[in-house]
Amino acid sequence: MENNSIFIEQLNTKQVDKVVDIENSSFKTPWPKQIFLAEIEKGKSFCRIALQEDIVAGYCISNLIFDELHIFKVAVHENHRRKGIAKYLLEDAFYFYKEKGAKNAILEVRVSNESAINLYKKIGFEALRVRKNYYQTTKEDALVMFINLDDYFQKFLSTT
């Protein structure tokens, strides 16, 4: 996919170090490199990167569980934020998994993560429930958010 000089493509092992750099500067309990490599090797998750002028600016890892698209990770390098890259990465996963039968997309987000919650709300995600003490190291609660993909695409088509 391509949008205003942002390209989205499959993550491969050569780009993993760049993704790990973004991961380490974006999350309190980052995934180690081995998890990203295992996700690529297993080939079951949709592992995508956003490139801006050939630089890895962000990534998204997602998977289909029954008819639900689970967003495991989305992050954007701090120098590339507020350019629509995360929104674009999420839409890319929506397109890919809608074709494969996904009905909803679902994710967990720290209740303190205002920027991510704003992003998800802007796309149309709604809060479903709170999972108490979901994050083991910090004991923080998670907000579970979901979006119905038919609703998303109907809204999307009516505004384009």
Rule CB under 6 A: which residues touch ligand COA? Answer: 26, 74-76, 81-87, 109, 113, 115-116, 118-119, 122
Question: How far is it between the farthest Cα atoms of the chain?
Answer: 43
Hey, how many other C-beta atoms are within 10 angstroms of the C-beta on 55? 11
Structure tokens at 64: 């289909």
Name which of 19 and 116 has its Cβ closer to ligand COA: 116
Q: Return the number of the residue (16 or 85) whose C-beta is nearest ligand COA.
A: 85
**41 or 54, CB closer to ligand COA?**
54
The b-or-e profile of 20-45 (16+ CB within 10 A means b, else e) is bebbeebeeebbeeeebeebbeeeeb
Report the nearest approach of ligand COA to the CB of residue 117 (Å).
8
For residue 83, the 8-state DSSP code is S
Provide the residue count of the chain: 160
Least distance in angstroms from the C-beta of 39 to ligand COA? 16
- Distance in Å, CB of 94 to ligand COA, minimum: 13
- In the complex with ligand COA, the residue whose CB is nearer, 4 or 41, is 4
Helix H or strand E segment including 143 = strand 140-148
